[in-house]
Amino acid sequence: MKLMVLILNKTDALESLLEGMSAAGLGGATIIESSGLATTLSRLDSSFISASIRAILSGAEEDNRTIFSVIRNDQLDLARKVVYNTVGDLSTPNTGIMFTLPIDFVEGTRKNRALPDPIVPPPAETVNEKAEEEKPHKTEETHEEGRKKRSLFGKKKRKKRNNSDD
């Protein structure tokens, strides 16, 4: 599994991109509004630094969208094709940046909902009911076996004393 991250500067392509991802079976994405360093500094109007960065990155005044999507390893090429077909070549300035990160663990995705039950102890009632079901039902034979075992291990029957002899 991979986490695909796309920082989309070309936000007018967002709707087409999301439709393309959904049509390709890459559903399940989170989109957040974000902004880059240049845009944020220009809004802060931090004098020299802001003017220098604005001069270098002119035209980067708009906010962008960051899209997070958990994909299977075999879906990466498909995801890249969808991005290139809807957004265009990412090497073009002010288009976007895309990268992936390996994922060691995923829980809660639609693909993983059919996995075995989570490892959570069942309620106490269920445990007791299950234990009762697993116990063998005592029969007369098991009672008899129990008496034989007790007599083998030294438990003797007590004789009744007759107090009338006194």
pLDDT at 115: 43
**Whole-number mean pLDDT of the chain?**
75
Considering the domain boundaries, does residue 81 fall inside one? yes
> What is the extent of the structural domain holding 108?
2-112
Q: What is the CATH number of the domain that holds 8?
A: 3.30.70.120
Considering the domain boundaries, does residue 98 fall inside one? yes
Considering the domain boundaries, does residue 83 fall inside one? yes
pTM over 0.75: no
- As a whole number, mean pLDDT of residues 102-123 equals 66
User: How many domains is the chain partitioned into structurally?
Assistant: 1
Considering the domain boundaries, does residue 54 fall inside one? yes
Hey, which bits of the chain come out as E strands? 2-8, 29-34, 64-71, 96-102
Check pLDDT > 70 for residue 161. no
Angle among Cα 53, 55, 56 to the nearest 5 degrees reads 65
Q: How many helices (H) and strands (E) does the chain have?
A: 6, 4
Considering the domain boundaries, does residue 17 fall inside one? yes
pLDDT at 47: 59
Considering the domain boundaries, does residue 128 fall inside one? no
Q: What is the pLDDT of residues 24-35, one digit of tens each?
A: 999 789 999 998
Most confident residue range from 10-19, 101-110, 111-120:
10-19
